[in-house]
A and B are shown apart, each in its own frame.
Chain A
C-alpha cells in the first residue's frame, strides 16, 4: 500500500511507542511527534491512536466473554481453537481494516503511511513519511493516480 505519488520516496519513519502507565495491556502513546507537525493535524492523529487503543482494550478485556471463551476452550483441551477464531484474532482483523481505511482516506493523501503494529511485534506504530521527489508542479496534497503529470 503506497501513496499514489509517482515520485514519492521514503524520507523518514516515526515510531509511536507503547504507553505502559496502565500495565502491560496494549496501549500506544497519544503524544504528537514533532516530525508530523507539518504533515497532519494533531486531532486526526490523536483520533487514530485513540481508536486503535480502544480496539486493543476491547480485545484484551477480561470479563464475562473472555471467561466463557477460556473455560469452553479448556474443557475441549483447547482443540476448539482449531476451528474457531479467538476474540483477539477477530479484533485484529477489525484493526487491520481500520488501518487500511485510515491510510486510504487520511494518511496517504498527506504522504504518510501507517504500518499495522502487529507487523512490528505490537511494540510500535510505525508511520512512514514520504517526500515528493522532483518538482513536477504537483502539490503534496494531491494524489495522482495516473503516471503522467498534469499539463
Chain B
C-alpha cells in the first residue's frame, strides 16, 4: 500500500511538470456565432494565441459581406480555451491500470487463493479471507522477508474481515 502512495506522489509531480508542456493542439479559440438574417449559426475553432482570439481573426471565411461584418461579429462570442491532453491521457491510463490491478488482486483473493490453499472450491464459505485465522494460528519457523509479508497480509485480511463484519453483517457502523 505504501508503494501505491509513492506512485501517487510521483504522479502528482509528473502532472505538474507535464501540465507545463503545451501541445500546439491543446489551445484553441472558439467562436460561437448565432443565426443572423439568413445565415445559420456556426462554430469556428482556430489555433491562435490569446491576443488574437476575436471574431475577425477566427471567423474565416466570413459568411457576411463587408458592411454586415461588424453587426455579425457583435453577436459572436469568442473564448480562449486550453487543455492538457497529456494530463488527460496519463491520468486515465494510470487510473485504468490501478483499477485493473485491483480487479486482478480481487479475483486472486476471492477465487484463486482458496483453490491453491485448500485444493477445493470453497462453496460453503462466501466470505473472502476465511482462512486468515488458520494461517495466523500456525506457528512460523523462520522470520524472513517472505514470511513477514505473508504475516502482514494475513493481519490485514483479518482487519478487513472485522470491518466487513461490523459494516455488512452486524450493521453497527455505516448502516
A and B: real partners? no
Q: A residues touching B (Cβ–Cβ < 8 Å)? A: none
